[in-house]
Chain A
């Protein structure tokens, strides 16, 4: 009896230590990358201060007023549209979807997969026997994420990495730091190692914060984070991972955890065009 309780206590203690160690793993990675970026941005800022002023970027020109309904308005229409069974997307989420976006992506211990916001929308559609949406389609999924994330504007990123999800976080970290494609860049080559420096007349965004600003609005269309990452991979001369693939979801999971505690600023306007290369 005494032995059994002792063994139980030991098991609980070990499990507790394992959970603590895992959570600390993701947290340690996040803090070390944040520190690297802070130092890099300081260096890039110093460079910018000493660099000769250049002409204004044509890409910085004001965007003409958009025609037609905004992606948020279009997303709202889809959000409240009645399914064949009389329910709506809003009925699948607590509070009708208000204040939920900052918790995504989340780890589903039953599926043993990372579930993104887009995936949760498709899960809802599947349950109600509706046609699934293409995860990067700006007209449907893009617009829906624009509306859903607008309901969490300013909420702080609250993604959790439980012990069981550490391998997914680690896979995302590995992909972010692996060099691939014809140009031999890693995501981190630009967004960690050179964050804040000027590439093709635009400042390179820092990895910390990248996951707070999507969807990105271009020419009145909403592009998800995964659409943006696919665009980046394409310009790196790499075959992009499929939207909604485990690789892409893990990458988004890692990237979003880097922005832990930062407020969501969705629907950032990026003007009419994408950056060339």
Chain B
């Protein structure tokens, strides 16, 4: 019992960089030309990623992402043409541009947007 605070602190220390790394992975997939390259079409808030003038897709904001929720976001990333057949957004999952784990990382990144 007396060990608990120390253990918690150790756990927190172990988890925190990991969580941070995962968030960075989401951003990396978001901006890499050979991965999602979401940044080419979408703007994100200045604190969350590079500042661009991209406007092929809508600008992304955290409130709207959290309103959609993780499941719908994952589904949209997997195949946005199911919800909107005429969208030009690539079907990242269906066409194997990103794997499930990478889609999860991008989803987490989007949900954490300011």
Contact = CB atoms under 8 A, between A and B. Distances in A.
Interface stretch (B6-14, B61-69, B88-96, B101-109): B88-96
A183 B54 contact: no
A116 B34 CA distance: 33
Contacts of A229: none
A189 B81 CA distance: 14
Q: Is the interface of A mostly helix, strand, loop or mixed?
A: loop
A55 B51 contact: yes
Nearest to B41: A199
Range for the number of chain B residues in contact with chain A:
10 to 19
Residue among B37, B39, B51, B90 with the most chain A CB within 10 A? B90
A108 interface: no
A174 B100 CA distance: 33
Nearest to B79: A184
Contacts of A183: 90, 95, 97
Contacts of B91: 184
B53 interface: yes
Interface string B31-68: 00110010111000000000111111000000000000
Interface of A: 44, 47-48, 51, 54-55, 182-185, 189-190, 193-194, 197-201, 204, 237, 276-277
Interface of B: 33-34, 37, 39-41, 51-56, 81, 88, 90-91, 95-97
Given A183-B97, A193-B88, 12 more contacts: A47-B55, A55-B51, A182-B90, A185-B90, A189-B88, A197-B56, A199-B41, A199-B56, A200-B39, A201-B53, A237-B95, A277-B34
Q: Can you list the 4 inter-chain pairs with the closest CB atoms, starting with the nearest?
A: A277-B33, A189-B88, A200-B40, A183-B90
15 contacts: A44-B55, A54-B53, A182-B96, A182-B97, A183-B90, A184-B88, A185-B90, A190-B56, A198-B52, A199-B40, A199-B41, A200-B37, A201-B52, A237-B95, A277-B40
